[in-house]
Amino acid sequence: METTNQTASTLRKVPTLSLGSYLHGSQDDKVKFIEQLFHGMKDYGFIILKDHDVSKDLLTQSYQILEKFYALPEKQKISYISELGGGQRGYTKFGTENAKGSLVKDLKEFWHVGREVEDSHAFAKYYPKNIWPDDTVPEFRPLFEKLFSQLEMAGIQMMEALTYPLQVEKDYFKKMVVEGNSILRLLHYPPIPEGVDPRCERAAAHEDINFITILPAATTSGLQLKDRDGTWLDIETDYGALIVDAGDMLARITNDVIPSTTHRVINPQDGKNTSRYSMPFFMHPHPESLLTCLPSCRGTGAKYPDITAHEFLMQRLKEIGLIK
């Protein structure tokens, strides 16, 4: 369960929605889900999703394999760092990434699984080939390819639901994300080492870059969002549920009608200094998508100039220290 011993000074609670009610329910059920999703994203920037098709057994196996992989010697893990740099595929060492504007590094290591396309594909120039630890953890690739696919489908279904209140065609987002630059990030937050800079957190306060992030409940507590009144709200949910938040790209095209919500992962509380594993799926549009303000959100005018998804991603990767 995602919970912490830090009590937030708000009684507000992130809403829990049933994806099954949208996919298989009555027309009234579908309308209610759409309204709850839209208002949850506007009001909190986060929702919790149950009754989805992401297998709980797959999540359990995935966490077991993550624990196995991250127990490998450091020398072995760094052999899986991409020669291309930027952390877009394969392993990224502990203490590499920082939150935008942060002066210190986050206390985490991670692995990126991304989309692969044929060499002849128009997007091949944007998508590096995945790196797989087949020689040490052969179960890794089939498990995480499957998890990528299942989380992506849940994301497509939610993005479709958002087209109704945003007054765009039903396939508007699907056309952008089906061959999108989405990333499955496989995170390990080790026990906090002795002597670490006291300013460092497992993940300092930040906003995500992408459209939406889909996060299966992590193995231990620590996730918090910054509520609209500035207080930190613990994200609590049962194992197997999906935590969903809005990122900068969605905020940008909705003119902040759906804001990108600040969140963080705090360090262990009450002496429980153990590892934490987490598997967020960052849903991105394809690189040549134009991030332009939706007409229904324009109001008195667009706040942000048009930019391609690739250009925006490159800007943000520089800001968080993954590329120079």
Domain count, the chain: 1
Question: What's the pLDDT at 11?
Answer: 54
Whether 3 is in a domain gets the answer: no
pLDDT tier at 236, thresholds 50, 70, 90 = confident
DSSP for 24-72 reads HS-HHHHHHHHHHHHHHHHHTSEEEEES-SS-HHHHHHHHHHHHHHHTS
Residue range 260-301, pLDDT digits in tens: 989 999 988 877 889 999 999 999 999 999 999 999 999 999
Residue 289 in any domain: the answer is yes
What CATH number is attached to the domain comprising 115? Answer: 2.60.120.330
pTM, to two decimals? 0.92
- In DSSP notation, 190-221 reads PPPPTT--TT--SEEEE--SSSEEEEE--SSS
Domain that holds residue 141: 56-226+245-319
Task: Please give the Cα distance from 275 to 221 (Å, whole number).
Answer: 10
Distances, alpha carbon 288 to alpha carbons 144, 157, 204, 285, 306, in Å: 26, 22, 30, 8, 12
Say if 21 falls within a structural domain: no
**236 within some domain:** no
Say if CB 256 and CB 303 are below 8 A apart: yes
Q: What rounded mean pLDDT belongs to the chain?
A: 91
- Considering only 10-24, 63-77, 101-115, 180-194, which range has the smallest mean pLDDT? 10-24
Q: What is the dihedral of CA 6, 229, 215, 31, to 10 degrees?
A: 130
| Confidence grade of residue 318 (pLDDT, cut at 50, 70, 90) | confident
- What's the pLDDT score for residue 98? 86
Residue 209 lies in a domain: yes
Q: pLDDT band for position 162 (50/70/90)?
A: very high
- 24 or 86, which is more confident? 24
For residue range 52-99, what is the model confidence (pLDDT) as tens digits? 999 999 999 999 999 999 999 999 999 999 988 777 899 999 988 888
Judge whether 36 lies within some domain. Answer: no
Beta-carbon contacts of 236 under 8 Å, excluding residues fewer than 6 positions away, are 1, 2, 3, 13
Mean pLDDT lowest for which of 30-39, 132-141, 157-166, 198-207? 198-207
Residue 160 lies in a domain: yes
d(CA 256, CA 36): 18
Question: Could you give the dihedral angle defined by the CA atoms of residues 145, 149, 150 and 152, in that order, rounded to the nearest 10 degrees?
Answer: 130
Longest dimension (CA), the chain: 57
Per the model's pLDDT, the better-predicted residue between 153 and 320 turns out to be 153
Question: Could you give the CA distance from residue 122 to residue 100 in angstroms, rounded to a whole number?
Answer: 31
Q: Is residue 18 helix, strand or coil? A: strand
Sheet holding 232-234, edge to edge: 203-206, 263-265, 223-226, 232-234
3-class DSSP state of 183: strand
Domain annotation covers residue 238: no
